[in-house]
Amino acid sequence: MAVNLVNTKISKQVLHFQPGGAPAYFEVTVVNESNQFASFQIEIIAAGSSESLGSNWYTITPAVSAKNPPGDSTKFDVTIINTPVAGFIGKMNLIVRIFSLELRDEDRQLLRLIVEAGVGTVAMQVELPIREFSTQPQGLIEIPVRVFNPSQLPASVSLRPIGLKPQWFINGDEKLLPVAPGTKTETSFLCQLPIPEEVPSQAYSFTIEATHTNGLPSRSREGIINVNPAGFIDFQCTPEKQNIPASRPWLPQLRVNSTTYQLECQNHSNLSQKISIEVREGEEGQPKCFWQVEPEFVELHPGEKQNLQLLVSKRRRWFGLKLKLAFKVKAVAPERRININNENQYLQLIIHPILHPWLQMGLGILLLYLLWYLSWLNPNNPFFGHRRSVSFVQFNGVGDRAVSSSQDQSIIRWNLAGFSNPLINQDDGRMAKGAGKSVRIVRYKPVDNDVVAAGLENGEIQIWDVLGGTKKPKVTFSFDKADRVLGLEFSQDSHFLFSGHGSGLVLQWDINSALLDDEVTLEKPINIKDVKFPVYSLTLAGQDKQNLVIAGRYNNLAIWNFAQNKLWKVPYNPPGSQNDYIVSVDSAEYKPSLLATADNMGQITLWNMQQCLSKNNGQCQTLDKWSDGHSGKAVRSVALSRDGCYLVSGGDDNRVILWPLTKQGRRVSPTGQTIRSQNQRFNSVDIKVVKNKILIISGNDDHRVRLDMRDLAKNVDCKQ
């Protein structure tokens, strides 16, 4: 027969319990019938008990007894605090199980429990099967709720979330749920979060409150909805393109050196953000600008919009084209989980010069005009060229320089290279700026061309140093200050100077001492010849160059052999009246017997002077003669080339004409080549053949000196 090591005694066999009323008690005494120390525990088992209650419907004190020696006893107090079966009324059996882990033995006792109808209210038990949720704004979550009715009566339970905004719930924030006695019923709330600006990223705690008419309200344990960061920062710059100045760039706005960009930041996220701005130059090597962002940063709460200002300044240039600059503007936020839309903005800045290009162009044109006006290119420039009619022009012996005289009382040296090259000043300097009276004629000294002689309207003759650039003449002399000088001619050796005057006198001056810089005063000429007519032009003719050809009023043409002091006249056809003048004569240096004359009736005559010079009489051969070259108008000047191959003429028909000649000294063609045509008459011309070019210089009533160049005529062969 087995030995029972656990001896149990229960204080009551029948126990009454009324839910909502006083608890029911009974005692259990346990005796250690073993021969060792042992501890004991008690467990109450009710048939059909609710799993939802577990062992929560009773309490046992103590939960575990101390180790008792053999034969010692332990008393347990058992209290029934709730019905073992939810909603049950009637009798049920309870099994009291007593066991010891050390003894590996147990004892069971039976107890009759009578459950009566309950009194008072019973709270519903609310559970959250899922207590923690994680989502993003505008996310949809389902919150399950479980309700247990521990009462003996059915209940209509109202469930309401506490701690969350009602508008978050799609089907409303309240549910009515019927729960049978002693049963569990589940439902759920469908929750959709709003846009990020309305739901900051954080943990939102909530509970579910259950209320019903027959019991006390109750709440579930706390649940949590974790809202993750979401959304974006919108970054905009307005405008993207700016100008300095912003308007009317054609006006010289001196103090406008800056502009402002508006930087707009709007927080479309659920996190507060601290936004700062980085600015970088758009291109390497572009000019540096000063820039400043105000304020340095902004604090943006969800849904908030704020502006910053980017001030860019750069000192503007006066001249040049507009300057195009680029900037990269970046919005920076410490929270990397939130994106920034349009994080990088590329800005353009156009900086206009203070003077608009059109204004610069206008000023440039004005400056060029002023430079032109003050340069030798301007025919009306008061600092260059003549201001009144040009009376006489002559080449030097080489053909690279020339001199001219004018009614403006000046004598000018000319650099002929400047006529073809605008970078070279053709005006080589004035020898006389105010000679006292109009300068009628100017002549180079034949040898060296280092001095010129000038004949003035007041009868004075001046000798000027061409190379020295002195402001005063080397020497000034006159015979009669009321007798104007109309013609000058040097002797071949430059020892003498001949002057022709309006009174009809032809004077021979010994200027050798003056040319040698000896301090002598020329008080009177060494020879005086009265030809009885106003003298307009002089030239030397003949092989020995001792014959002075004299031309003047009444179409008089005379020859004075100054070595023999003989004077004779050459018949001229037609003979002239007091209004007729031979105004110009010239001879060819290499053909000294070839002479050209021109008169104010438009006639040009070519002469062979050999016979009349050798016999000292007036019988000279006429080689050619024509009056239609200048349309019958006065021919003011003629000049022969040194070799006698070309004749140039200028007159009142406002033209300069070139006449190629034959070996015999006649025209190659009855019509000459018009070299230049202007609006006013030509007073003086000269010709020079240099290499394969024909140089023609002319002086006009429009106060201009002009140079023309032509190629040698291919069909002309006049050399001996």
Of 571-575, 578-582, 716-720, the one with minimum mean pLDDT is 716-720
398: three-class secondary structure by DSSP: coil
Q: Is pLDDT above 60 for 720?
A: no
Closest CA relative to residue 528, chosen from 556, 562, 570: 562
Average pLDDT value for the chain:
88
Residue tagged 């005494």 (tokens):
29
Secondary structure letter of residue 514 according to DSSP: H
How many helices (H) and strands (E) the chain has is answered by 3, 54
* 202 and 237 housed in the same domain: no
Residue tagged 């003077």 (tokens):
355
Domain that holds residue 146: 125-227
* 245 and 288 housed in the same domain: yes
The token pair at 52 is 């939802």
The token pair at 480 is 């009669």
* 135 and 103 housed in the same domain: no
CA dist 685 and 640 (Å) reads 10
Does residue 706 fall inside a structural domain?
Answer: no
Q: Is pLDDT above 90 for 501?
A: yes
418: three-class secondary structure by DSSP: helix
Residues near 303 by Cβ (< 8 Å), separated by ≥ 6? 197, 198, 267, 268
Using one digit for the tens of pLDDT, what is the confidence trace for 653-711? Answer: 999 999 999 999 999 999 999 999 999 999 999 999 998 899 999 999 998 999 999 98
* 223 and 237 housed in the same domain: no
Is the torsion defined by CA of 417, 422, 428, 430 positive or negative? positive
> 559-585 burial, b for 16+ CB within 10 Å, e for fewer?
bbbbeeeebeebebeeebeeebbbbbb
Assign 647 a pLDDT band (cuts: 50, 70, 90).
very high
CA dist 608 and 615 (Å) reads 13
Residue tagged 């029972």 (tokens):
4
For the domain that residue 218 is a member of, what is the CATH number?
2.60.40.10
* Number of compact structural domains in the chain: 4
Strand-pair partners of 647: 640, 659
Closest CA relative to residue 661, chosen from 580, 607, 616, 610: 607
Final residue before a domain boundary, out of 172, 198, 227: 227
Strand-pair partners of 294: 309
Does residue 160 fall inside a structural domain?
Answer: yes
The token pair at 442 is 């100017």
Q: Give pTM, 2 decimals.
A: 0.59
Q: Could you tell me the CA-to-CA distances from 122 to 19, 79, 126, 621 in Å, in that order? A: 9, 19, 13, 164
The token pair at 448 is 């060296």
pLDDT of residue 17: 87
* 252 and 221 housed in the same domain: no
Does residue 509 fall inside a structural domain?
Answer: yes
* 204 and 267 housed in the same domain: no
CA dist 52 and 50 (Å) reads 5
pLDDT of residue 385: 84
* 437 and 467 housed in the same domain: yes
Other C-beta atoms within 10 Å of 468: how many?
A: 11
Average pLDDT over residues 423-436: 78
Other C-beta atoms within 10 Å of 470: how many?
A: 11
Does residue 694 fall inside a structural domain?
Answer: no
Does residue 496 fall inside a structural domain?
Answer: yes
Other C-beta atoms within 10 Å of 201: how many?
A: 21
166: three-class secondary structure by DSSP: helix
Residues near 296 by Cβ (< 8 Å), separated by ≥ 6? 276
Hey, what's the torsion of the CAs at 285, 287, 290, 296, to 10 degrees? -30
Alpha helices in 353-475 (DSSP H): 357-374
Average pLDDT over residues 710-717: 77
User: What distance, in Å, lies between the first and last C-alpha atoms of the chain?
Assistant: 181
Closest CA relative to residue 455, chosen from 414, 484, 496: 484
pLDDT of residue 518: 64
Inter-residue contact 216 to 155 (CB < 8 Å): no
DSSP code per residue over 270-328: SS-EEEEEEEEESSTTPPP-EEEEESSEEEE-TT-EEEEEEEEE-PPPSSSS-EEEEEE
Does residue 137 fall inside a structural domain?
Answer: yes
Q: Is pLDDT above 80 for 321?
A: yes
Final residue before a domain boundary, out of 115, 145, 160: 115
* 51 and 134 housed in the same domain: no
* 152 and 200 housed in the same domain: yes
The token pair at 398 is 């080489």
At residue 54, what are phi and psi to the nearest 5 degrees?
60, -125
Average pLDDT over residues 596-619: 89
* 508 and 467 housed in the same domain: yes
pLDDT above 90 as % of the chain? 52
Other C-beta atoms within 10 Å of 717: how many?
A: 11
For the domain that residue 316 is a member of, what is the CATH number?
2.60.40.2030
Inter-residue contact 93 to 47 (CB < 8 Å): yes
Q: Could you tell me the CA-to-CA distances from 84 to 45, 46, 50, 64, 99 in Å, in that order? A: 9, 6, 6, 22, 21
Final residue before a domain boundary, out of 515, 530, 545: 530
| Burial of 1 (C-beta count, 10 Å sphere; 0-12/13-18/19+) | exposed
pLDDT above 70 as % of the chain? 96
At residue 217, what are phi and psi to the nearest 5 degrees?
-70, 155
pLDDT of residue 255: 85
Inter-residue contact 349 to 312 (CB < 8 Å): yes
Hey, what's the torsion of the CAs at 514, 518, 520, 521, to 10 degrees? 40
Inter-residue contact 40 to 73 (CB < 8 Å): no
Residues near 140 by Cβ (< 8 Å), separated by ≥ 6? 190, 191, 192
The token pair at 357 is 């290009």
Q: Could you tell me the CA-to-CA distances from 632 to 235, 262, 282, 600 in Å, in that order? A: 91, 84, 79, 9
For the domain that residue 466 is a member of, what is the CATH number?
2.130.10.10
pLDDT of residue 712: 87
pLDDT of residue 538: 96
Average pLDDT over residues 321-340: 89
pLDDT of residue 227: 94
Does residue 695 fall inside a structural domain?
Answer: no
* 292 and 275 housed in the same domain: yes
* 401 and 522 housed in the same domain: yes
Q: Is pLDDT above 90 for 288?
A: no
Does residue 24 fall inside a structural domain?
Answer: yes
In this structure, are strands 297-300 and 232-238 parallel, antiparallel, or unpaired? Answer: unpaired
C-alpha 241: how far from chain center: 13
